[in-house]
Structure 1
Amino acid sequence: MHLRKGIGAVILAGAVAVSAAPTAYCNDTGTEPIERPGWTLVFQEEFNDAVLNPAKFSDSYMPHWTTPEQSLAHYDVVDGILSLRIDKETQGPWWAFDDVQKISSIQTGMRDGMHNFWDTCTITDHHRAVTNFETKYGYFELRARVPHDGGLHSAWWMIGTEARADETAEIDVFEICGPDVKAGKSRVRVSVHPWTDGGCKEQSLDYYPACDVSQDFHVYGLF
């Protein structure tokens, strides 16, 4: 997945307290203005450096459920574009109990035990908590281009801080599977997964932009 400069208040696989159902959209390739009337910009990343800014992002995806080496993202930053890669031959599986799934992800927040998605999850390594950006309300936006190859799953999502049982919900601003990206039509899924949060319910909504979203950058946003 490629992320382009001009990101405002973005959380990638990060930590955010959520409660209500989201409103999400996918715009065309036009550049959205960064400054908006009535809003205060509190987080922005232009990807101007060759490496990620550790004060904003972690490149280790839930390392507490795996090993430091297996959790590291494979990525490049060139000309203001961050490209997350899956290296078929050299990248190992993310999880010790799964010899297929490989993940490259960046996030603004993470701590030990966060996102316990499976009963067999066991903390294998302890890490200092990353709390670069957390917020309860706001508007979030990024420009992204996703691959269309089979077997790939691109996503931008948020989870609660998990300080309480009602702060565990997950919002998927978009989930796009490679086979769902086709010429003239793509499927973009928006979802809410409550996990242990009784204040919301499981729900998903599919959007069908009339284009191949892998061919250019598109703006995805969440209120």
Structure 2
Amino acid sequence: MLDPQRVTLSPWAPEDRALLDRANTRAMTAQLGGPEPADAVERRHEDYLRLSREGTAQMFRVDVDDAAAGGVGFWEVEHEGVPAYETGWYTLPEFQGRGVATAALRHVVALVRERGDRDLLVAYPWRENAASTALCRSAGFEHHGSSRAPWRGREVTFENWVLDMRPLDLAGREPDVDERFAGDDLDASRWWPYYTPHWSSRAQSAARYGLTDAGLELRIDEHTPPWAPEWDGHVRCSHLQTGQHSGPVGSGTGQHRFRDGLVVREQQPEHRGWLPRYGVIEVRMAAVRHPDAMVAFWPIGFEDRPDDCGEICIAEIFGSEIDDAGGWVGVGVKPQNDPRLRADFEKVRVSGDLTSMHDYAVEWSPDRLRFFVDGRWVKTVAQRIDYPVQLMLDLYELPGAGPRDVAALPHRFRAERVRTFPPR
């Protein structure tokens, strides 16, 4: 599969007329009713240019390494009486099956999200178009039934796929837990201040933290040891989690089996603290701008059953990916070792100072997860995670190419609050 960064969009231009001719073949139009006459292709080209000028649509040429690979766009429609954008795409035969359409659609989703004037993005592929149906599903669209409509002199069945981009709505909802990190120490009924210590030890993986009027501060300082040098080299971590489950010493049973061959090195008591299942999970936190630092909030399955171990990554922010205008925030689902899940994770660009406080949240229902930054929708994953998760909140120091940057220490990761809301 192609690196998605090799796929770019260019606004539709007069010289792109030839691309429509290349797409107007019997094979390329089999799911559209067949090739169009030349005058119809010319009208389509003129419509692309006109609608883009008017601002009611955005049409693009899809490029791979500057070579034309297809087309994509979105335009204003109404879906069941609600303002929406409709999207459509095509990929030339020599580029099909390489992830080009997936990357192009991801670009379109980002553009519609940034526009922010319509909360629905819809697609209506023909029922027989299995490839487009699969693409809609993988992009987080939800199937809303089918409809029949006239198309070029015949009746056609269209599948209705809808991407819900509405902002997070917490109106009238009360949190079941609203953790503000008040008091002299952590609430031991919720938090376990060690990073998966079964693979190492509580002494080696203990969090360095403090509670202030502004909330929690996790620290990595000059004397923070690597948390598990046997398995993870010189990675250092200061971390809180809200559950703990692992097997006896010498076994391979334990949460977050992040590599093959792991063996439990220290027996741990079971801790069932704060284990939400469905609803909204939200953190208000600030990232660390240093190339060796990474902060994350990533609930994982409690894993008392081996397959119940998927990760809901609500925010993962590398200090190396923060700049003066904003930064990249990783969100989505990572299967870890859950065979029922597939990886659906991406980095979304967020404007503003990520080292100041921002809200990161997921709205988790039985068949989908919707991710938000500061209440704005950023991604949907249409997968099912049906088991309790424990919250994982951490600051990492990752080894750089050169010597450790001791002069920059301590790294300080601040979290103002963590909240969960029960499902509606």
Q: TM-score, normalised by structure 1?
A: 0.79
Which deviations, in whole Å up to 9, do the C-alpha atoms of 1:90-134 show, x marking residues without a partner?
111000324410000111111111111111211011111111111
> How many Å apart are 1:165 and its aligned residue?
4.2
Alignment partner, residue 110 of structure 1: 244
Alignment partner, residue 133 of structure 2: none
Supply the RMSD in Å over aligned alpha carbons: 2.3
Inter-CA distance 166–36: structure 2 relative to 1 (3 Å threshold): farther
Alignment partner, residue 95 of structure 1: 228
Tell me which amino acid in the other structure corresponds to 1:43. Answer: V
Say which structure is richer in helix.
2
The share of aligned pairs that are identical, in percent, is 28
Residue 104 of structure 1 aligns to a residue in which SS? strand
Distance 1:212 1:126 in 2: 42
> How many Å apart are 1:71 and its aligned residue?
1.1
Say which structure is richer in strand.
2
Alignment partner, residue 11 of structure 1: none
Residue 144 of structure 1 aligns to a residue in which SS? strand
Whether contact under 8 Å (2:296, 2:315) holds in the other structure is yes
Inter-CA distance 172–77: structure 2 relative to 1 (3 Å threshold): same
Alignment partner, residue 358 of structure 2: 218
Alignment partner, residue 296 of structure 2: 155
Distance 1:101 1:219 in 2: 27
- Among 175, 179, 189, the residue aligned to 2:316: 175
Report the number of matched residues: 192
For the pair 1:75 / 2:219, whether they are aligned, the reply is no
Whether contact under 8 Å (1:182, 1:211) holds in the other structure is no
> How many Å apart are 1:72 and its aligned residue?
0.4
Whether contact under 8 Å (2:257, 2:336) holds in the other structure is no
Alignment partner, residue 142 of structure 1: 283
Whether contact under 8 Å (1:185, 1:212) holds in the other structure is yes
Q: TM-score, normalised by structure 2?
A: 0.43
> How many Å apart are 1:40 and its aligned residue?
4.4
Distance 2:344 2:314 in 1: 12
- Among 21, 44, 61, the residue aligned to 2:178: 44
Inter-CA distance 74–121: structure 2 relative to 1 (3 Å threshold): same
Task: Name stretches of at least 5 consecutive residues in structure 2 with no aligned partner.
Answer: 1-139, 141-162, 247-253, 364-424
Q: Name the larger-Rg structure.
A: 2
Task: Name stretches of at least 5 consecutive residues in structure 1 with no aligned partner.
Answer: 1-20
Alignment partner, residue 342 of structure 2: 201
Distance 2:185 2:306 in 1: 35
Whether contact under 8 Å (1:60, 1:68) holds in the other structure is yes
